């Protein structure tokens, strides 16, 4: 009997995902009928992107799960018509991409590369950076992405601290949790990396008060979510010298408006949401595994906790 799988993402994504999905289903001998269109009452699983035209899940009474193509679920988790399990995407390709991007920008700040690349006024500037073991990096958000980034930075030699809402034990990482733990983590963060989800509890987590806990001259790197940062507070801290620099890959409004002051600020690097994107070839295997699990009665991977929002 065929398993009916609806691909509910923007139409232009179909050509990228279809071959990888069909190959992943074939690898697992899953008898899948995959389509962009099928009667709602016949659908067993929905492969989903939150910017899809599909926003009302009520007609999909037979569906067993929604399998998100994005790591972020903030645009779907509160949908009142979604009553079935929702799985977020934990894609090995995305994880590798994020790890490489964050490591590159941590190393850029650690080594002070900008002053040598720009060479202002053709000045010969002698600068010996500290060793990685002498630099403390703190990651806010110790999920799959944060843990992978921490692991890579540890192999380079950095002293890595991590913060999460709940207590976690991660080899090689000094972990902090809860409200008191957040202040402790920030106080040691010479380079701060934000990898938290966008939830009511994390909005503006980096604000005037919390920035005040950071060491003088700290750097901020945000490839997580735009709403994690109070933009006004960040700009003020950059202007008064509290922060030495910020690299931002995500924003409250994307694309970042041309008139936004981040573009022109000498201490801000803007990148166009490129740190990590779902890779069809690797994401398809994750989706195929979850459908196989659903069909065999095994628990689905990466299920979203509706109460926490991720």
| Residue with tokens 């994880």, as numbered in its chain | 95
Catalytic residue flag (residue 225): yes
Of the residues 213, 273, 279, 293, only one is catalytic, namely 273
3-state SS of the chain is: CCEEEEEECCHHHHHHHHHHHHHHHHHCCCCEEEECCCCHHHCCEEEECCCCCCCCCCCCCCCCEEEECCCCCCCCCCCCCCCCCEECCCCHHHHHHHHHHHHHHHHHHHHCHHHHHHCHHHCCCCCCCCCHHHCEEEEECCCHHHHHHHHHHHHHCCEEEEEECCCCCCCCCEEEEHHHHHHHHHHCCCEEEECCCCCCCCCCCECHHHHCCCCCCEEEEECCCHHHECHHHHHHHHHCCCEEEEEECCCCCCCCCCCCCCCCCCCEEECCCCCCCCCHHHHHHHHHHHHHHHHHCCCCCCECCCCCCC
Residue 58: count of CB within 10 angstroms of its CB: 10
Of the residues 225, 252, 265, 293, only one is catalytic, namely 225
Cβ atoms of 161 and 185 within 8 Å: the answer is: yes
Cα 106 to Cα 192: distance, rounded to the nearest angstrom: 9
Cβ atoms of 150 and 139 within 8 Å: the answer is: yes
First to last CA, the chain: 33
Catalytic residue flag (residue 161): no
| Residue with tokens 């994690």, as numbered in its chain | 228
Catalytic residues: 225, 273
């Amino acid at each position: 009997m065929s398993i009916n799988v609806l691909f509910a993402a923007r139409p232009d994504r179909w050509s990228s995902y279809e071959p990888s999905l069909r190959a992943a289903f074939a690898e697992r001998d899953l008898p899948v009928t995959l389509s962009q269109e099928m009667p709602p009452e016949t659908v067993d699983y929905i492969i989903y992107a939150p910017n899809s035209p599909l926003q009302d899940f009520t007609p999909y009474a037979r569906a067993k799960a929604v399998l998100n193509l994005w790591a972020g679920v903030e645009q779907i988790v509160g949908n009142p018509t979604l009553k079935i399990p929702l799985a977020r995407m934990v894609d090995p390709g995305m994880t590798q991409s994020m790890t490489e991007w964050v490591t590159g920008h941590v190393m850029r700040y650690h080594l002070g590369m900008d002053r040598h690349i720009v060479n202002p006024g053709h000045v010969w500037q002698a600068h010996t950076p500290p060793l990685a073991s002498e630099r403390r990096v703190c990651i806010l958000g110790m999920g799959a992405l944060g843990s992978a980034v921490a692991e890579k930075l540890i192999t380079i030699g950095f002293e890595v601290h991590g913060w999460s809402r709940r207590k976690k034990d991660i080899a090689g990482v000094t972990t902090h949790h809860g409200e008191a733990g957040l202040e402790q983590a920030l106080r040691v963060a010479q380079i701060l990396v934000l990898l938290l989800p966008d939830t009511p509890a994390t909005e503006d987590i980096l604000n005037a008060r919390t920035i005040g806990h950071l060491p003088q001259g700290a750097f901020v790197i945000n490839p997580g979510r735009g709403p994690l940062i109070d933009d006004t507070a960040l700009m003020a801290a950059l202007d008064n010298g509290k922060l030495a620099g910020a690299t931002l890959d995500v924003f409250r409004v994307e694309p970042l408006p041309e008139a936004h002051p981040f573009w022109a600020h000498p201490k801000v690097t803007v990148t166009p949401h490129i740190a990590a994107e779902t890779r069809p070839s690797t994401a398809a295997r994750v989706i195929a595994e979850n459908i196989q699990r659903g069909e065999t009665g095994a628990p689905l991977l990466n299920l979203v906790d509706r109460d926490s929002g991720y």
